Each structure stands twice: as structure tokens, then as C-alpha cells.
Structure 1
Amino acid sequence: MTQGANFDLNARQEAAACANAEDAAVWRWFSDLYDQGLIRWCRTDRGWLVSVADRHVATTATFDEGIREAMARTQDADLPRNKKKDSSNREEKLR
């Protein structure tokens, strides 16, 4: 294998590792919010609508894009991310 081919292989492996780590972070975030009942989504004629904590945060063509956009938009906002569920607060909110 030539030096250039070895560099290309290393670059591809590093890119794959970064993509896997990003995917894992997105789906951990999604799972946490799903378990807490804080994320909702639906398919409409406009695309996928995604809401976090009763606030619409994304409308995209695909489900994957919608979840990623929702995560990106809630990172800087005052919306839940990976908080543990406070059942007393949730029950009060439902009344």
C-alpha cells in the first residue's frame, strides 16, 4: 500500500468513527427525551414535524433530519436535553 492510500484509509476510518460518535449522541438524546415523554413527531404533507417540550422545533423532509435539527436547535435554547424526569413537575404540567 502506498503512503497516499494509507493516509486515505486512515482519513476514512477517522471520519467513520466521528460519524458513529455523532449518531450515538443524537440517538441517546432522542431516547432520553422519548423516555421522559418530551419529544413528539408526526408526518404531514409539509414533512416531519418535531416538537420538544411542547415546542415545535423542526420541520424537515426526513425523520432523521428532523431529529438532528431538533437536537441542534435545543442545544442553545432553554429546552430539555438530557435531564432526568421530575415526575412531580410532569404531573403538574399535565393538569
Structure 2
Amino acid sequence: MDLAKPIRQSAANAANAEDADIWRWFADLVEERRIRWCFANGSWLVSIDNRHVATDENFDHAIRTARRRSPRGDEKANRNF
């Protein structure tokens, strides 16, 4: 019996839930027109509410960093980070 299989499945489920939460957050900000991003000089720059919050060569990393640094007033934005 492979004991690692349930551990791997649990880790995959947690990662999927985290990804879904981040992208729901992103979609909400897009809908509210509060987030902006652009690619310049090889990096993604992300701003929320006209405040620069992240720069990274990888879009996914830039969005995750923006989430952690979000100036959003409610706790939902930073609950898991």
C-alpha cells in the first residue's frame, strides 16, 4: 500500500484551494477595476488602487505577491498569506 498517495492528494487539494482563492480575489479586483498590470522591461508590474504592489518576471508570482501586499482594507485579501 502506498502511504504517500493520501499525503500527495491532500497537498494537491490544498494547492488547488489556494489557487482558486487567489484567482477569485484577482477576478473580483478586475471586475471592480481596482487592479492593473503591465509587462515592462521583462517584468510584470501590478498595481492595486493605483498603488504599485508587486514586480516579478513571472505573472503568477507577481499576482501572488500583490495579494500578500494588498492594501485592501478587509481581512479577506490577506487571510491566508
TM-score range, shorter chain: 0.7 to 0.9
CA RMSD in angstroms comes to: 1.8
Is 1:23 paired with 2:16? no
Q: Which runs of 5+ in 1 are unaligned?
A: 83-95
Q: What does the per-residue CA deviation read over 1:24-44, in whole Å, with 9 as the maximum and x for residues that have no partner?
A: 000000000000000000001
- What corresponds to 2:9 in structure 1? 13
- What corresponds to 1:38 in structure 2? 34
- What corresponds to 2:67 in structure 1? 71
Offset of residue 79 of structure 1:
2.4
Aligned mates of 1:26, 1:20 — CA distance in 2: 10
Higher RCO (C-alpha 8 Å, min separation 6): 1
Q: Which runs of 4+ in 1 moved over 3 A?
A: none
Q: Which runs of 5+ in 2 are unaligned?
A: 77-81
| TM-score, with structure 1 as normaliser | 0.73
Please say which structure displays the higher CA radius of gyration. 1
Aligned pairs, how many?
A: 76
Match of 2:54 among 54, 58, 61: 58
Matched residue SS, 1:79: coil
